[in-house]
Amino acid sequence: MAVTAILATGCAPGAMAPDILATPRPPVVAPEPSPEDSDPAPIGEPTSPAPTVVSSPIFTPTSRPTPTLTSSPVLSPEPSPSPEPQPTPAETETVRPEPEAPPAPPALLEQGASGDSVRDLQHRLLQLEWFEGKITGSYGDATRLAVEGFQTKRGLRATGAVDQATLDVLNAMTRQPTQDEMYNVLRPGPAILAPGSQGDDVKDLQARLKQIGWFHDAIAETYGPKTTEAVRGFQEKRQIPVTGEVDQRTLDRLYGMTRKPTSDELNNVVPEKAPTPAMVLDDRCLQGRVICISKSQRRLAWVIDGKIQSTMDVRFGSVQTPTRNGVFSVYWKSRDHVSSLYDSPMPFALFFSGGQAVHYSADFAARGYDGASHGCVNVRDKQAVMALFDASREGDKVVVYQ
C-alpha cells in the first residue's frame, strides 16, 4: 500500500500549512512490496529493483484556480482638466502721497481784526506807500491787499495775514507811528518855507512839485500864490496838515517822491525831445474809434479809422493785480472819480473792464515805472489823458494787448 501523507487542514484550497513547507520530514523506509501489490512490469522492459529508501515527498502547492472574470469595458480615466493659468497680478505701483504743504504760520493779525495793532500796521504800510488813505484800525480788503503786496515784494509767504516773519520785516523797515499819526491827527510843524520866501530853495521846491504835476508855471525864486496852491494840494493828497507852508514832514515826503532837479529844470531850459518811434498797432485797432493799449510798448494810442490821433506813456497792474488783455468798450466816464476801495483819486477815468480804467496817476508821474497800479492803466501826462477823456465816448472800443 502506498504511503499517504497526512496534511493539516483548515487552509484555503490549494494552500499549504506553513510548518510543512518549512520543516523537512525524516526518510520513511518502505517494506518490500508483495507481488500482489505490484503492478506487472511491461513486456519487453527489464525489471529494475525498486528503491529501498523513499525520501519525503516534496509538496508543490496546488495553484489556486483563477476565477473566470467577465471582462467589462475598461474605461479610461478621464483626463483631469488642466488647471487654467491664473493671470499673474500686475505689480501695483506704490503711490506715494504728495508731501503736504507746510501749514501757514499762525496769524498775529488778519482780516476782520481791529484795534491799535491794526492802526500801527496800517501806518507802517503807509510809510512804505503800500497803504493809502486814512488810518481806520479795521483790517479790511485794503489792508489785506497792502499786506499781500508787501509780502510778495519781500519774498514772504503771501497770505494777506500778518505772521511773525512779516511783522519783523515790516518793523525793521519802518518807524514807530506817533499817537497822532495812528489817529489821523494832523499837526503842522514849524515852517521851513512859506509865502514870501525867496532863493534857490524855493526854485528847488517848485521844480520838485513840477516833476509830480503840482506846479505848472515857470520856475522862479519867489514863493507866491501858485507855489502856495501847489503845496496845499500836495499836502492834502498825502494826508499832511494843509497849511500851504512847507514843514519838515512836507519836505521829507516831497523829497521821497522826487529826484534832484537838473540845472536845466531849475532855469527853465526845455531839452529837445528825441523823436518818438511810431507805435505799432494791433490789427483790432485799425477800424473805428479805438483806445489801443500795448503792454510791451507801454503806450496808449487814440486811433480813429487806423490813424493815430495821440499817444501817451502808460503803466499797468502788478503780477498780483494784472491789467486784463482783450477787447472791451468804454462803459462809464468819470471825470473826478475817487476809488471806493483805495480812497484815492482817479481823475479822467474811462472804465472798460470791471473796476479797471484808464486814468491819470500822480504817482506814475512822480515815480515812473518804479511802481504799479492795482490793475488800471495809469497815464502820467495829465493834459494828454484829459484830452482823451474829452474826445472819447461811451461805447468806444478798448483793445489791450501784449
- Go through the domains of the chain in sequence order and give each one's CATH number: 116-182 (1.10.101.10), 200-266 (1.10.101), 283-401 (2.40.440.10)
State the pLDDT at residue 23: 46
State the pLDDT at residue 206: 96
State the pLDDT at residue 79: 57
State the pLDDT at residue 294: 94
State the pLDDT at residue 172: 96
Q: CA 292 to CA 397: how far, in whole Å?
A: 8
State the pLDDT at residue 311: 92
State the pLDDT at residue 140: 95
Residues with Cβ < 8 Å from 144, sequence gap 6 or more?
110, 111, 160, 161
Residue keyed to cell 496845499: 232
Residue keyed to cell 523537512: 24
State the pLDDT at residue 33: 47
Over the chain (402 residues), the average pLDDT of each successive run of 10 is 38 37 48 45 45 48 49 53 59 66 85 96 94 93 95 94 96 94 89 96 95 92 95 90 94 92 91 73 92 93 92 91 92 89 86 92 86 90 93 93 90
CB 113 within 8 A of CB 139: yes
CB 265 within 8 A of CB 207: yes
Kindly tell me the sign of the dihedral angle through the C-alpha atoms of 48, 49, 50, 51: negative
Residue keyed to cell 500796521: 121
Would you call 351 helix, strand, or coil by DSSP? Answer: strand
CB 129 within 8 A of CB 237: no
Q: CA 357 to CA 399: how far, in whole Å?
A: 12
